[in-house]
A and B are shown apart, each in its own frame.
Chain A
Amino acid sequence: MTPDRTATPASPRTLNSARTPNSSRWRLPVGTSLTYLSLLLATAVVLLPLTVVFLTSLKTSQEVKDGGALSLPGNWLNLDNYVTAFTDGNMLMAFGNTAFILFFSIGGTVIIGSMTAYAVDRFDFRAKKLVMALFLIATLVPAVTTQVATFQVISGFGLVDTRWAPILLYMGTDIVSVYIFLQFIRGIPVSLDEAARLDGANAFTIYRKIIFPLLKPAIATVVIIKGITTYNDFYIPFLYMHSEDLGTISTALFRFKGPFGAHWEAISAGAILVILPTLVIFLLLQRWIYNGFSQGATK
């Protein structure tokens, strides 16, 4: 929990290269071929279920009925199921809703988290310990348990079945991001604040013009982990947004179960449509994602 933890993005690489010259003496604990065999087996276990679903999404319904699960599609460019998923499955609307929720809940989380971290780290005030304790204890309360009562709060505000219910909940119950910001803000020298203050800047200007821009790496981490968890969340939209036209990608995909029944080719296309953006983001931002999630989980 030291401030240096924020420096981890670079460290695994340097350590690695430090170890490389020695690698000839570093033999693997198990025989090398056995090691690779276990890795290949794990790769197969991970990729096979996904590949089969991808293949199924390209098949016609006749092919799904006749061929086995491992058979190949007749036409590799058969995108009919994707069209069906988009038009009959309301996926377009779902992507729109998810984007809307993502935009506001991530923006809110970043502003709220960084403001909290700034106030707690840079000011000394009575009840500071109490405020910290409130945030700390809240990390122990799993959101999954309190929804019975949270529902009544949201319904008291009249927000059930609106997109603002999940936005407020994602924004208001994210304590992990407060910790990520807090951790990072400790590494920003206070002398910067002081210099600005001597130039006549007030607390808000310092937050907006100095602290916030310097928090960029922490903001990136929060945006990535918050983005992926929000995109994948099923529980909250499932509980709070029942209307047909308020589906997020999770709930819209879940609704495939009814109308498409045994039409596995359409369900598969829907699943692949949902997985694809995640895959693209993962391939582009790998290093950030590893670090973000390990930071998020250990806080």
Chain B
Amino acid sequence: MTETTDTAPRGAAATRRPSRDATHKGRGRRGPRRGPGGGLPRSWRHSPLSRITPWLFLVAPLALLITFTYVPVASMVSYSVTDWDGVSPDREVVGLDNYVQIFTRPELFRVFFVSGYYLAASVVQIAVALYFAVILSFNLRFRNFFKGVLFFPYLINGVAIGFVFLYFFQDGGTLDSVLAWLGVTTDHPWLGDPTSANVSLAGVSVWRFTGLNFVLFLGAIQSVPGELYEAAQLDGAGRWKQFRHIIAPSIKPVISLSVILAISGSLSVFEIPYIMTGGATGTQTFVIQTVKLAFQFNKTGLASAAAVVLLLIILLITWIQRRLVPDDKVDLV
């Protein structure tokens, strides 16, 4: 066993890591001895024990992956064409009826419009994050303090954030008090009507998630070697040109990733609106509705269809992004 597994990974390595020094040398010396075939030694394929070695390592991970990702996806698709209630032993196949319901019953379809608020919020979020990432990539006083403050909300527990902002938007709460202190008196119930409530909740999501985008952008900007800016300055490039030609291309992959996260994120909002309003006053999102259909109203079939629709939308968006922005990194140096 030791003899056979010994050679196998090296053969694999030969194809994968042509540039690594340590392995390169080792292979250079031993390569010729392996004979003209060059590829995998014969013995490796013949030993049954070593052939199953990788599978011994993979059996638990694959079992978990299949049980908790692929089985649910498959059964979700199969539930979605039935009228199953999630408990009773019998169910009837209803074809595409559930899908038709999702797109034709206005009260079910409406949740897609709520995502619009969060989508708009994520545009704000990316813009704010980009602004602070650019200015904090310079040497500023208290730079680390500001960085920490901007990022910290991302780490806070969602339920705690929900309560903090329930108090914030409450009648006579933080927001009203601050406005009164600034001389604006208002008795507007912030979570009282659908538009205001959705805008407020989307604002909370900006507060919560800007930090992640900010840190991603900052990391990308700082991965640009400093000499590049110096060279650009020597060539007489102004600040705008430096942003346009050095900073912008270096963060393009991260921005495209953030856009994808933003779109799929705004379709799958759950925590903040569920904790703060429970989906009342027109703040029900797609996921809240799905959870309610499945676990409160026992409409597993309909909920599965809704989940399949969401999954398909997210897959579609990811596919479009992969087509528009190829995965390769922009090479600067």
Contacts and interface: CB of A to CB of B under 8 A. Distances in A.
A68 interface: yes
Contacts of B239: 27, 29
A222 to B, nearest CB: 14
B83 interface: no
Nearest to A13: B222
Contacts of B53: 123, 203
Given A39-B135, A68-B177, A289 B155 contact: yes
A43 B69 contact: no
Contacts of B290: 145, 148
A144 B287 contact: yes
B226 A18 contact: yes
A46 B159 contact: no
Contacts of B275: 234, 254
A62 interface: no
Is chain B's interface secondary structure helix, strand, loop, or mixed overall?
Answer: helix
A198 interface: yes
B134 A45 contact: no
B246 interface: no
B57 A48 contact: no
Contacts of A169: 68
A23 interface: yes
B304 interface: yes
Interface in B46-64: 50-51, 53-58, 60-62, 64
B233 interface: yes
A184 interface: no
Contacts of B65: 134-135, 138, 172-173, 175
Interface in B143-160: 144, 146-160
Given A116-B57, A123-B54, A275 B72 contact: no
Interface stretch (B115-123, B161-169, B192-200): B161-169
Interface string A173-217: 101001000000010011101100110111110010000000000
B237 interface: no
A275 B61 contact: no
A146 B307 contact: yes
A282 B230 CA distance: 34
B157 A250 contact: yes
A153 interface: yes
Contacts of B97: none
Given A141-B311, A234-B159, A298 B177 contact: no
B157 A173 contact: no
B216 A48 contact: no
Contact of A153 (B8, B9, B72, B229): B72
Contacts of B172: 68-69
Given A123-B54, A153-B71, A169-B68, A140 B10 contact: no
B152 A279 contact: yes
Given A69-B170, A198-B6, 4 more contacts: A48-B174, A138-B65, A145-B76, A297-B257
Interface of B: 1-2, 5-6, 8-13, 17, 20, 22-23, 26, 40, 50-51, 53-58, 60-62, 64-73, 75-76, 79, 86, 128, 131-132, 134-136, 138-140, 144, 146-160, 163-165, 167-168, 170, 172-174, 176-178, 180-181, 207, 212, 215-216, 219, 222-227, 229-230, 233, 239, 243, 254, 257, 261, 264, 268, 270-271, 275, 287, 290-291, 294-295, 300, 303-304, 307-308, 310-311, 314-315, 318, 327, 329
